[in-house]
Structure 1
Amino acid sequence: SSDVELAPAEIKTDKVPSNARIKLSDVSLEDKKMVMTEVEQAANLNKVVSTTVNYVDAEGTSLFLNSEGTSITMEENRVALFLNAVAASENGIQFGHKSTGGARGFEVIEKEDLELMGRTAASKAVRLLDASLPPSGRYPIIMDPELTGVFIHEAVGHASEADLILQNDSILKDKMGTPIGSPLVTIVDDASMDAFGYYAYDAEGIKTSENVLVTDGTLTSLLSSRETAAKLNIQSSGNARSGVGDQPIVRMSNTYLKPGQMNFEELIEDIDHGIYLKGSRGGQVDTGKGVFQFNAAESFLIENGEVKDPLRDVSLSGNILEILQKVDAVGSDFHLGVGFCGKAGQTA
């Protein structure tokens, strides 16, 4: 077997302190259970037949050492709260989901309006019971920040992972410096942001920073590790991540579409007949073929520039590059959510 070549990296000695204002380990189990109960009770609306609340947190110290002389200690925190509500009627069953979290301490949960979180998820499930099935065909669509994030993650994030490009399993292979989307599309991956995907250094000791993958529609960067960067003759982007005892592989962090200038009313005013899609119920992508399929959690018909009847079970599919070229407006609202993703048996 041949030796592994690594892209050069700065030798660093650093200590990254905890950014938690309220240490997760200082909060009693009772207080954490109270949070879950509060959300659960708020979701107990008429027609809601079942609720599931998950609370997860982690606090720890990681030490990175390598033979080049780098030594990095990081105090890390992560916390998340998830709610699923199930509503039922003679029309069948429907789901409502809400989550919150961050790479900080318990203050992330304390600043959340838990009652509103519970009511929002439950009322979504109830509302969907009477929603119509969507029309089939090609429509202009508007995606909310959550679904936009999932689309960007699946459609562009994975395709820009250097290991997939080296395996000839990405439509973005050999596309560097070429337009892949409309000039309104700027896509960023930034592990240094204060959000759920935050980490100060990656699993190879590379300091993280903003990485602009797509600039005004043109592919300008990739997600890479030191190993994949060496093969492509580029610098590592600091996207090597690994679970305990796992090999570092190229992963995303906080990946998002940069917000635009338009408010919601401006986005919908010229749509005669379209669909407004909110939230995600999962999806998949074939990065090699460049096709995707997603499910929206909740949708609404748009008619003559106005949001109308609710729709249920809306699924959308298409060609990644074709859809990116057709983006003709980007909203100014921006929200980073909580997400997990599996790759090569590892969850990040």
Structure 2
Amino acid sequence: MTSLGDLPLRDDLRGREPYGAPQLDVPCALNTNENPYPPSERLVKALGEAVMDVAGTLNRYPDRDVLALRDDLAAFLNADTPGAGLTTGHVWAANGSNEIIQQILQAFGGTGRTALGFEPSYSMHPIITGVSGTRWVNAFRDEDFGIDPARAIAAVAEHRPDIVFLTSPNNPTGTALPLPAIEAVLDVAPGMVVVDEAYAEFRREETPSALTLLDGHPRLIVTRTMSKAFAMAGTRLGYLAADPAVVEALLLVRLPYHLSAVTQAVARTALAHGEELLGGVEALRRERDDLVAWLRGEGLRVADSDANFVLFGTFPDRRRVWEALLARGVLIREVGPPEWLRVSVGTPAEMAAFRTALKEALEESL
């Protein structure tokens, strides 16, 4: 059989591993930061009807520029962040926020250009950067997983990146960035600044969104997703808000008819039922905060989280702890800085199972 080594693969792709978290059949899957609450029967019916409505037109291409969906997304963002003043022209959508990131790199990155980020952070940023032929620079986060504005300014001044990635709340740490830190980067960045807000709906009340900075910052891009808070991971819908000129630039690189009619219909239906879908966010916030307090009560280090997951540690052999949890039917993520583990916030029953499994795992490792 032909092996990968026999193919004329690009040299810069050789030795790489495909991205992906383990997909295992376990009672408690708490490793991919999904919303644990499925759509209600009422919403399932509405989604089915929406798909039925477009099923008879699938012989035709969908709306190439997804105007109706973008209009709905702008309305949602304006409600989420009063005063944002976004229109359809400020918003763009694609197949998950990863395709959004890919399009940004296709438009503003490429050979001879540089993207800069602060790791540990979302691992797809450097992966997509590399695949796009863009050079990646890691400027590193502080010990508390924050970003010191002065150090960030120095990193931007040194590397002069074409794209800067800021993730808030950050994955895998859950850390949110204060607006002054984002503004400090915006003030000195020579190119685009991307603030990845995939977990924005889970942020604590006192944590503002970078959407409030869009006015007056034409090179700022704020990315979001419907995979997390909206409980629509299977829909694969990511989107961004930016100056309309940025959207025009992305139209130059997007594939024709990139969002199917079914995806658009499902996403619009989900937005129309947003109150229901986002109704569980507050419960997940409370569960997260209770989990942080419990883990600290167990003597563990825990990163402050504005997301629907918690990074905790530290373990000399985190693989041993991960395996002990898995043996008890609880799957979490071995990701981020060494000696740390990440657990997604699930239902009360799932979190009770996690607590029991972790206590047993820790006792076993003593």
- Shorter-chain TM-score bucket reads under 0.3
More helix by share: 2
Identify which of structures 1 and 2 has the higher relative contact order when contacts are C-alpha pairs closer than 8 Å and 6+ apart: 2
More strand by share: 1
